[in-house]
Structure 1
C-alpha cells in the first residue's frame, strides 16, 4: 500500500497537526512526516485504495504565499457580412477604389521589410538542450509571472518555460520509473544575481512523495518555485497528464514559492501566485493559515468527487476550482509552451 506524505524541508523546531490529506489527491508533495492514517472510503477504486494517504503536519513560521485565478473568455460572436452590390465598370467608385488600393499596396510593401514585433529567436541552451526555438514574448511572460508582484488581471494568456526548467523537469520524468516502479523526482528553480534561471535537482522521492530541496538555494539566488513529477507505473494505472493535487496547491499557504510546477508524461502544469492570493493571507495567524490550507484541500476534494470523466479530467476540474476560488493562475501545455 502506498502512502502519501507531505513535508516541507524548511521545518522549524515546533509544529502542529494539519488535517488529513485528500484520499483522492494525485501525487502530492511531501510536506512533513505523517502521524495519522486515513482510511479510504468504501466506494474508492482499487487503484485509489492502493494510494491511501497518511495525515500530514504543517510547520509554524512559514512566510505567506499567494494564489491565482484562471479566467476563460467567452468566444466572440462572428460578424455577419451584409450583401454587396456591384456598380458599373469604370464608375467613380471603382476609380476611388483603385487609388486606395495603390496606397495600401505601397504601405504593405514597406511594412514587409520591417521585422515583426515578436520574433522567434534561436536560444542556445547553456545546460545541454541544444538549440531551442523560443518565443521571446513567451519568455518575457514567464518573467512576468515569476516577478515580485503579479496582479491576477495582468497575468498573460501564454508563457514559455525557460530551457533550464524544461530540461530539469524532463530529466526528472526520465528518472521517474527506476526498475519500472514510480518514484517522484523534482527540484527547485532559482534566479541567480545575474538574472539567469537555474534548475537544481533534489533527491529522489518515493512512489507518492517528494521533499523540496530548499537548502540548495544559494545566498544570492532568488527562489522561483518547486517542480516535481507525477509518475504512475503500470500497477498504479500508468496514467499521465495528471495535474496538481490539493496539497500541491494548499502548501502555497506556507511557502514563498512564486510558482508550482508539475510534469506528468509530456503534460506540463504551472500554478502562479498573485497579489490577490497574498491579500487573502494577510494578517492570518497560524490557525488562520491552517484553516485556509484545509479549505483549499476541501475545495479540491469536493470538486474531484463530483466531477465526471476520466481520472485526469476530474483532477483538472478540481485544480481549476481551487485556482478560481483562491486566485491562482493556472497554465497547462507541453514542450514548454503553456496557456491559461
Structure 2
C-alpha cells in the first residue's frame, strides 16, 4: 500500500440502521493490512475478511517493515490507538533482533474466534502466536501447503493451482472447499484421501456449465459437477450457509447452491435476490436465517438484509458512512453479530 491506512470499525443496528459503536485508529507508517480490506474492488470470502480481526474486534492483522526497513514482520494493530502489538525478539514468530537477517513474514490472519495470529515465515512455514498472552512462544505448524494459506478452524486448507486464495471458503467441517478459478467457481475435497469422482486438488469440480476445455483458446481437461449451471459463470463463492449450501455471488445476483450430502451433485441453484447491480460483501446472521450485504453505487454504500426464507424481499437498512479520513471510501462488511 502506498499510504498509511486509517481503520474505522463501525457497528450498526440491523433493524434501524442506527450506528451503535465505533473504533477508529491511524496505523503506523509502513503498516499494511492487506488487499482484502484495502481494495474496494476485491470481494474476499466472508471468513477471510472476518479473520483479519481477532475475536473481540480489538485487533486487526497486518505487517510492518522489518528492522532497518528490510523485509516484513507479521503483527496486529490495536483499534484503540493504532499501535502494533509488541513482538518478541526470540526468533521464529517473534520480532527479529537487530542482528538477525531480514524477515519476510506474510499473510497474517487470526484463527476464527481466537486471538491466535497465524502467518507464513520466510522459510515457507506456518507459525502462530496467541496475542492475548504477551509471553506466548510461537508455535510452528509445519510447511505451508500453498503460497497463501487459508484457515478452517486450526487447519490450513489446501487448494488447487489457479484458485484465488482470497476467494476460498471451506464448509463448516473443513472437509470440502469452494473457490474461484477464473472465470469459474470450483469445488474440491480438502483431504485427497476423501475424494472420489475427480473431485480433488488436481481435478476440482466446476460448478458452472460452459465449454471449459476451450477457455482462452487452451485445451484443458476439466470435470463439471452434475447439475452445473450456466448461471454460475463468474460467480464467486462467498460463504457456506450450512453444511450443504454455498452462497455464490456476483455484482448482479446472489445464488444459493445446494449439494448432495457427499457433494457429488448440485441439487438446486436458487436466486436469493432480484437482479440488482453493485451488490457485494454478504455475511450470515447469527441464527443462519438471513444475510446482510452492501450495495455500492457511486460514492454511496447502503446496507441491506434479506431473509433466506422462500420469496423473501430485501430490506434496506440504511446508508453507511464512507469517509474514514485515511485511504478513502473503502467499505467492507465484516460480520453480523
* TM-score, normalisation: structure 2: 0.25
* TM-score, normalisation: structure 1: 0.25
Higher relative contact order (CA 8 A, sep 6+): 1
Which has the larger Rg? Answer: 1
Give the strand-richer structure, 1 or 2: 2
